[in-house]
């Protein structure tokens, strides 16, 4: 990323955010203020794709070069921020994901941690459970929990918007394709790649993700086994 480029951190929330999220952004702002543009926040609840579209529209009204989309239940360390901006390049790597883990229910006491980086295969989006640590490589898709996007990508999608969607709602949507429901983040990545932009991940830029689960005797039995 060019030294003069500014990054706007953007997130959506229902009116409250995780304390760890807020504290981590304060640390980044204190340490890397020269790299930051205005923060972008969308407050509201309801359809997530609608909120993400509002976020992008608000970002494009700023003069920042990059949007770092984050979920408000994560933590962004200064180290992870540095790795992302050092990896990003406006033409070679215009979309760079951090490594965020989702949790898939399995029926066991703990959910299965799954990295939100994917291969777009004929049978659907497959999580890349095996990956090189602290490395940069190209992926087909990544979740929007931590996605650094150059504004040229968002402007290209807007310029090519379907007239029925309009210029303000063209970035994110979700719905069924070939009988399978595809989330707004994966649909977005398909759109990015269809316009010729590559997507990369830095697996050393790890963002802890706050999750909750029901605690009962199963966890107790595991820890005492």
CATH of the domain at 40: 3.90.550.40
Quick check: is 179 in a domain? yes
Give the residue numbers spanning the domain of 73.
Answer: 7-224
Quick check: is 44 in a domain? yes
What is d(CA 89, CA 44) in angstroms, rounded to the nearest whole number?
32
Quick check: is 132 in a domain? yes
Q: How many helices (H) and strands (E) does the chain have?
A: 6, 14
Point out which residues pair with 175 in neighbouring strands: 182
Residue pair 169/93 in contact by the 8 Å Cβ criterion: no
- The per-residue pLDDT for range 125-182, each reduced to its tens digit, is 999 999 999 999 999 999 999 999 999 999 999 999 999 999 999 999 999 988 889 9
3-class secondary structure, 180: strand
Q: Which residues, 6+ apart, have CB-to-CB distance to 1 below 8 Å? A: 7, 66, 85, 86, 87, 88, 89, 90
Structural domain count, the chain: 1
Q: Which residues, 6+ apart, have CB-to-CB distance to 46 below 8 Å? A: none
Quick check: is 2 in a domain? no
Quick check: is 32 in a domain? yes
| The pLDDT of residue 211 is above 80 | yes
Quick check: is 85 in a domain? yes
Quick check: is 26 in a domain? yes
């Amino acid at each position: 990323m060019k030294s003069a480029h500014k990054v706007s951190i953007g997130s959506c929330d229902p009116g409250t955010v995780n304390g760890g999220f807020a504290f981590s952004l304060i640390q980044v702002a204190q340490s890397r203020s020269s790299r930051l543009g205005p923060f972008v926040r969308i407050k509201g609840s309801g359809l997530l794709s609608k909120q993400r579209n509002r976020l992008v529209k608000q970002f494009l009204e700023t003069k920042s070069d990059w949007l770092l989309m984050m979920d408000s239940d994560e933590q962004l360390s200064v180290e992870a921020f540095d790795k992302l901006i050092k990896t990003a390049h406006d033409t070679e790597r215009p979309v760079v994901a951090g490594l965020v883990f989702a949790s898939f229910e399995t029926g066991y006491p703990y959910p299965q941690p799954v990295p939100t980086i994917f291969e777009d295969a004929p049978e659907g989006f497959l999580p890349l459970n095996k990956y090189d640590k602290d490395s940069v490589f190209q992926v087909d898709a990544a979740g929007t929990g931590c996605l650094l996007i150059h504004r040229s990508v968002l402007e290209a999608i807007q310029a090519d918007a379907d007239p029925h969607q309009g210029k303000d709602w063209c970035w994110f949507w979700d719905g069924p394709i070939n009988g399978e429901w595809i989330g707004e983040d994966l649909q977005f990545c398909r759109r990015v790649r269809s316009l010729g932009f590559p997507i990369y991940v830095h697996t050393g830029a790890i963002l802890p993700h706050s999750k909750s689960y029901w605690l009962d005797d199963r966890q107790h039995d595991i820890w005492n086994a």
